[in-house]
Amino acid sequence: LPLLSSPAGVMLVPERKTKDGFEEHFGLNYLGHFLLTNLLLDTLKQSGTHSHNARIITVSSATHYAGKLHLNDLQSRCSYSPHGAYAESKLALVLFTYRLQHLLTANGSHVTANVVDPGVVNTELYKHVFWVVKMAIWMTAWLFFKTPEEGASTTIYAAVSPEMEGAGGCYLYNEERTKSAAVAYDEELQGRLWTESCKMVGISDESSRVP
């Protein structure tokens, strides 16, 4: 089964940039996945068949519900907040996934794109939070946090479950389809983010040919 899944990311880091000059949350959490997906898209299209679609899995989080997309300041240059930048990057991933699925469907491609919320997982992702929060996490992880294995279950479900064959444009949590933030369904916003993202990473915007 041809598959692309990219869960790498950072959370609540101090204001800093990637080697390419992007704000770190937006660059690593979103733009890296956006670019990698586009670079591999032709291969994925060639790999998918009518009976076995290639699958693209994007890992976002419930934090996207609090996210606001600032198209005029995607790199948080005007006002930086670790929480705001992280939430924006996660919202961008959901918008990206929905736009990608629209483009794949319009092109008749045998590829599906879905976005996953793994839940609150006890990983090194929380290493930049305040020490009091770290202590609280250490004390309550067994009760409120998922193990890495539990956190991976929905991604695995999206990747291999027969129930997800041919299904795209879904937001999945606890192995079930659910509603993402209302703003993520804004098709105009999806398209504008896609176009701006193409400019930022230096690739052509083929989506302009698709209504």
pLDDT of residue 113: 97
Q: Which pair of tokens denotes residue 197?
A: 């993202």
Positions annotated as catalytic residues are 86
Judge whether 29 and 9 are in contact, CB under 8 Å.
Answer: yes
Contact 181, 64 (CB under 8 A): yes
Strand 171-173 relative to strand 111-117, pairing: parallel
Least confident of 22-36, 60-74, 150-164, 172-186: 150-164
Instruction: Tell me the domain boundaries of the chain.
Output: 2-204
Query: Looking at the predicted structure, is the pLDDT value of residue 33 above 80?
Result: yes
Residues 6+ apart with CB under 8 A from 71: 189, 192, 193, 196
Structure-token match 């991604």, residue found: 155
pLDDT at residue 136 tops 50: no
Q: Which residues of 81-102 are buried (b: 16+ CB within 10 A; e: fewer)?
A: ebebbbbbbbbbbbbbbbbbbb
Confidence of residue 83 (pLDDT cuts 50, 70, 90): confident
Please say whether the beta carbons of 111 and 53 come within 8 A: yes
For 2-204, give the CATH class.
alpha beta
pLDDT reported for residue 77: 83
Among residues 27, 11, 18, which one has the least CA distance to residue 62?
11
Per-residue pLDDT band at 123 (split at 50, 70, 90)? very low
Q: Which amino acid is at 140?
A: T
**C-alpha torsion angle, residues 183, 187, 192, 196 (rounded to 10):** 80
Distance CA 173, CA 180 (A): 10
pLDDT at 127: 47
Give the confidence band of 142 by pLDDT, cuts at 50, 70, 90: very low
Spatial neighbors of 203 by CB under 8 A, at least 6 apart, are: 35, 38
